[in-house]
A and B are shown apart, each in its own frame.
Chain A
Amino acid sequence: MTSPAIASGGLTLAQTEPGAIAVALLVFGVLMCLSVLGSRAFERRGVPIVLLFLILGILGGSEGIGGIPFENYHLAFRLGTIALVLILLDGGLNTSVSSIRSTLGPSVTLATVGVAGTAGVFALCARALGLTWHEAILVGAIVSSTDAAAVFAVLRGGRLRLKPRVQSTVEVESCLNDPLAVILTASAVAWVAGGATPGWSLLYEIPLQLVIGAVVGAALGWASVTLLRWSGVTTIGLLPVVTLGSAFASFGLATVLDGSGFLAVFVTGVMLGKGHIPYRRGVTRVHDALAWLAQVSMFLMLGLLVFPSRLWPVAGTGLALGLVLALVARPLVAVLCLLPFRFSAREVTFLGWTGLRGAVPIVLATFPVMAGVPGGERVFNIVFFIVVVSTLVPGATIRAAARMCRVGEPAPAAPEASIEMLSLRPLQGEVRMYQIGPDVAVCDAALREVSLPESASVVMVVRGGQVIAARGHTVIRAGDHAYVFMRPEDEPQVGLLFGQSAEG
């Protein structure tokens, strides 16, 4: 079966185009909806949802029931890059500066030495399993980084909570290590293609690229926050356009300046997240949705790019290498990298186990194909297997691993209802949510007894499925979620009485 776009190649644009785009949107739209429908079943089993998109993509492809022909590696690379920008921007927006600061040492080590080490160890194992040196080194570089998209999907999508230090190490690592994998892959491709032999220059080029990326990302993030705060934009829908634009510009500028674009986007996201931009929660939500759209589209597209008939010849090798990565290379390198940082043996075990791979390696695997490296497609297909195995094995077992290594935390129950203040301008007030523990001062107190700063007030109490008006006689109980309106500078005084808070 061929698509109308191909079949009607001889017709004029006016006759073919509405039909072609309509069919493409129809098929892609149905696949997107289907993948979301299946997400619950996957989530319950702990399998990263992204694999479902991949499978649907394969089914929709030219050898599946969908019959969509798609073999454009260049287009896949470009769309994949855009998708990664969206995902890393969202990752940055949701990563606090304090969590980065507290795990900078271990995550930077994992993202630099760890990536290079994984690539090296993996290449040795791959050579031992029968790959040529060229293939082994290419594949090693391509699969060396853990994937932000997969990690965020498993950690934030599922109801899994880890100890804060472990969680932010995994997350920050996954955001920081893509740049190095990109650089290593580009060098490996250049070497295999017969061009430049990678020399010692990599030792200063890599840090330089990272520094340029970080500086560009911070500068554009700052500029974007300033722009949003002082431009007085009153059309709410335009705000995410500005944040998205700044991420694109950040990636572009850093890359043009020979820096790491992916790191730049992540840093821009962090700056936007910490800056007091107007309507911040609304903007963040838009980017959450965009990141999901990017993930779904990217994996569907990568699924389309795969031809099952070409996968079979490398199936055995691919599966074996996937296991080598998940069971040998990643754990070994992670343990060595984490030795200098005071993690417990259980935490190190867990961090070694969670080397989830995702879309980044598949996007990187289009490099050698695009460069016309001999055997490039074989590399692409091997990488595909490795990603599936190394996502499936740690992904499906991440909850059990968290339990066994005792790095999980009982997730606090989310309130059944919430209040948030939406404002275009930075206002003098905010609503914060406090989860009431049995030890805080206000527990078992009636609201009239709670002396708060002059401009603060409890506005709502949520107890189980019940929403309770905040009246003087309302008694606050352990387990309640209390919403308090206050000026930001009064928060310490309110927090002294109410305990731990989250922004409303």
Chain B
Amino acid sequence: MNLLDILTIDCIRAPLMATTKRAVIDELVDVLAAAGRVTNAPALKEAVWMREQTRTTGIGHGLAIPHGKGAGVANLAMAIGKPAEALDFEAIDGQPVQLIVLLASPPDRTSEHIQALARVSRLMTMEAFRRRIYASSSPQEIYDLLASQEKAPA
């Protein structure tokens, strides 16, 4: 799984306008919709929010990976948002979140969906990488960082 296959630079927003958990999810889904990756934005918002109710996707160390499956998603898509200020995502470690990676998947592509989730969460366990991506301020910077990581042998 190469994350660059599912991420385009127009799906990265830094800084985000939203300042709450729910609004951030809505904003990132709208980013995917604007890029033509999602046709039914309201349904996807609801799916991601429902998943969030099961258990927060704020997995600690300042990262949240909200995700959901939706009928209006043709191919696995990813959006990244960097909040203007770290925000509360009810993360498992109680820390505010500095980067939100949203994954949208077609309902029948569970395998890719899971691989992408695992890939993002594993990538972000590298502390040096995490620090650099949290320090970056523009979509281009975030994209380049990911690109350097995805091209390097995993």
Listed in ascending order, the chain A residues whose CB lies under 8 Å from chain B are 437, 439-446, 449-453, 492-493, 495-497, 499-501
Decide if B65 touches A440 in the complex (CB within 8 Å): no
A443's closest neighbor in chain B, by CB? Answer: B110
Q: List, in ascending order, chain A residues with CB within 8 A of B53's CB.
A: 439
B110's closest neighbor in chain A, by CB? Answer: A445
Q: List, in ascending order, chain B residues with CB within 8 A of A497's CB.
A: 114, 117-118
B64's closest neighbor in chain A, by CB? Answer: A496
A493 to B55, CA, bound (A): 12
B13 at the binding interface (Cβ < 8 Å): no
A451's closest neighbor in chain B, by CB? Answer: B118
The interface residues of chain B, by DSSP majority, are classed as helix
B92 at the binding interface (Cβ < 8 Å): yes
Q: Nearest chain A CB to B118's CB is how many angstroms away?
A: 4
Decide if A493 touches B122 in the complex (CB within 8 Å): yes
Pick the contact of B47: A439, A453, A492, A495 (CB < 8 A).
A439
Q: Nearest chain A CB to B69's CB is how many angstroms away?
A: 8
Q: Nearest chain A CB to B15's CB is how many angstroms away?
A: 24
Q: Nearest chain B CB to A123's CB is how many angstroms away?
A: 43
Decide if A442 touches B114 in the complex (CB within 8 Å): yes
A449 to B121, CA, bound (A): 16
Q: Nearest chain B CB to A449's CB is how many angstroms away?
A: 4
Q: List, in ascending order, chain A residues with CB within 8 A of B139's CB.
A: none
B121's closest neighbor in chain A, by CB? Answer: A493
Pick the contact of B50: A439, A452, A495 (CB < 8 A).
A439
Q: Nearest chain B CB to A251's CB is how many angstroms away?
A: 33
B98 at the binding interface (Cβ < 8 Å): no
Given A442-B110, A445-B114: A496 touches B47 (CB 8 Å cut-off) = no
A381 to B31, CA, bound (A): 71
Decide if B68 touches A439 in the complex (CB within 8 Å): yes
Pick the contact of B51: A440, A452, A453, A492 (CB < 8 A).
A440
Q: List, in ascending order, chain A residues with CB within 8 A of B57's CB.
A: 496
A501 to B118, CA, bound (A): 18
Decide if B110 touches A437 in the complex (CB within 8 Å): no
Q: A440-B51, A449-B110 are in contact. List 19 more A-B contacts (CB 8 A).
A: A437-B54, A439-B68, A441-B51, A441-B105, A441-B110, A441-B114, A441-B117, A445-B110, A449-B111, A449-B114, A449-B115, A450-B114, A452-B118, A492-B59, A492-B92, A493-B122, A497-B114, A500-B54, A501-B55
CB-defined A-B contacts under 8 Å, sample of 10 = A442-B114, A445-B114, A449-B114, A493-B59, A493-B122, A495-B55, A495-B59, A496-B117, A497-B114, A501-B55
